[in-house]
Structure 1
Amino acid sequence: MTALPTSTLVVYALAALAEIAGCFAVWAVIKLDASRWWLLPGLASLALFAYALTLVEAEFAGRAYAAYGGVYILASLLWMWGAEGARPDGYDLAGAALCLLGAGVILWAPRAA
């Protein structure tokens, strides 16, 4: 069983921030009646998200994306708390823990060569 390199954690954190910020820009335009100009930095943020995931050291893109999903869920709850002021409840945290556990299985499961 190998440990996840710190650089991968940093890349996943950057990807999550970029994805959530980009998606929130679209949300703000549609749901909060924000200026359509918010779509420009939102699209740039989504492009950064896609690029960041190419920096993950993984044999297959699908495995890198699947493991990222657990990180994204936790980051989304942190966004909800920090940016939107809604504190995650116990069910949110339990669900995030299950997803992170699943991401760990995807990343660290011993595989035949």
Structure 2
Amino acid sequence: MTAFAYIAAAIAEIAGCFAFWAWLRMDKSIWWIVPGMMALALFAYLLTLIEAEHAGRTYAAYGGVYIVSAIGWLWLIEGAKPDRWDLVGAAVCLGGAAIILFGPRAV
């Protein structure tokens, strides 16, 4: 469930932010912000589904998933192929997210 919630949250956040980008930077209709706001609300809700003791740790680990998802968006939606530095950076961030989320904690 954790992986699903993180991935779905990332897609919702990127889609929501892209809606605002499209409106402000691509001269799309102002109506693009309506689904954008809905997507951002969904993003916030999905992060509450993560099983973690502290919200800050959940958000910190999410950062790595978001970065990998943003690189995927860049490639799949915007048609710009990631370069090796995009991929290396995303891998480092995802590794950091895994350490934050799954690292052993003193009880």
TM-score of Structure 1 vs Structure 2, range by shorter chain = over 0.9
Structure 1, 102-111 or 70-79: larger mean CA deviation:
102-111
Q: Secondary structure at the residue paired with 1:81?
A: helix
Residue 78 of structure 1 aligns with an amino acid whose one-letter code is G
Corresponding residue pairs, total: 107
Structure 1 segments (4+ residues) deviating >4 Å = none
- 1:31 is displaced (CA, Å) by 0.4
Distance 2:18 2:43 in 1: 13
1:65 matched to 2:50? The reply is no
Matched, 1:29 2:23: yes
Quote the residue 2:48 is aligned against. Answer: 54
Q: Give the residue type in structure 1 aligned to 2:82.
A: P
The SS at the match of 2:45 is helix
CA distance in 2, matches of 1:39, 1:108: 36
* Stretches of structure 2 lacking an aligned partner (at least 5 in a row): none
> Aligned ranges for residues 1-113 of structure 1 at < 5 Å?
7-113=1-107
**Structure 2: which amino acid aligns with 1:43?**
M
TM-score with structure 2 length normalisation? 0.99
What's the CA shift for 1:29?
0.4
- TM-score, normalising length: structure 1: 0.93
Amino acid at match of 1:107: L
Cα RMSD of the aligned pairs, angstroms, is 0.5
Percent identity reads 61
Distance 1:33 1:96 in 2: 30
Tell me by how many angstroms 1:109 deviates.
Answer: 1.2
